[in-house]
Amino acid sequence: MVYTCQSDLTFGAVTVKRKSFAPLRLLRPAQHPDADDYADHYQLIVPLVGSAQLISADNRAIPRVGDVLLHNMARVVAACFHPPEGSDVVDTVMVAFPRPLISLPVEHLDSVLGTTIPADQGIAALLSKFVLDLASGHDSYHPSDGPRLGMVLTDLIAATLLHTAETDPVIVPSNRDALVLRIKAFIQEHLRDPHLSPRMLAIEHHISTSYLHRIFQEQNATVSSYIRSLRLERARRDLADPALRAVPIHSIAAKWCFSASSAFSHAFRRAYGLSPKDFRQEAAHHAPR
């Protein structure tokens, strides 16, 4: 098989590859011995030249050129890639990422697995173009760009999947589930707002504060802890960013609405097992030179 990897890029925990290859057909048993290794790793495929077809135990997806397809290799039993008429090469961009990077409930993330997302307009079009631009512009990136671009990419993937889960008539979530998704998306957009609180969320979404707390409790979380965990994650990314190495830790804490340095250090250590200072030093030690 003729195979060329035109680009193989890492953006934090996200990998973006552009591949060109001859016609390809893969088959494997549904109970593949390595399936557990792929369970928490998802892949986004954007065909550029030729057609793709992925078959899982419960569906078949045939994305067109430029469309977006999310799948999990643990569930795929067959894959076929065909070049267009007059050519013998298939060209695709593939994005691999661990599932925890996408801040959507697992059940809703899984609901769009194997679903072709048309990318001719809207958020999906932005995602498709961004993925292609990432794969094509590899010569212009600095090592410090990786974590930031990875964060933008995963946020764009989450926004696309959220939009799909809310609008697809086949996989549309229940009213309550859709409400939770909207609230979580709102939280993501307003993480740096010091006024973000359960009361603000309840007012913005026209529900009572008690109902807001109840629907989060059903997901084994509290509103405040969910907001705090997202802010800690953003602070962690900033601490690992080489471009922000000169920014004081207390400034990063304040950026993500931790007004007291001691409270931030305590919460950070409890979440990640290291103090913010130790984490930054370790991240700097492992950063690309």
Predicted confidence (pLDDT) per residue in 95-122, tens digit: 988 877 776 666 667 777 777 888 888 8
Q: What is the pLDDT of residues 138-187, one digit of tens each?
A: 667 776 777 778 888 888 888 888 777 666 544 444 567 778 878 888 88
For 215, the enclosing helix (H) or strand (E) is helix 209-217
What is the SS3 assignment for 242-271? HHHCCCCHHHHHHHCCCCCHHHHHHHHHHH
pLDDT-based confidence at residue 31 (cuts at 50, 70, 90): low
For 6, the enclosing helix (H) or strand (E) is strand 3-11
pLDDT tops 60 at residue 288: no
For the chain, percent of residues with pLDDT exceeding 70: 84
Task: Return d(Cα 144, Cα 155) in angstroms, integer.
Answer: 18
Question: Can you give the pTM of this predicted structure?
Answer: 0.60
pLDDT of amino acid 203: 92
Contacts of 229 (CB under 8 A, 6+ apart): 271
pLDDT tops 90 at residue 257: yes
Average pLDDT over residues 189-208: 91
pLDDT tops 60 at residue 211: yes
pLDDT tops 90 at residue 90: no
Closest by alpha carbon to 177, among 106, 108, 113? 108
Q: Tell me the domains of the chain and their CATH numbers.
A: 3-167 (2.60.120.10), 178-286 (1.10.10.60)
Task: Return d(Cα 14, Cα 146) in angstroms, integer.
Answer: 9
Closest by alpha carbon to 68, among 179, 163, 149, 188? 163
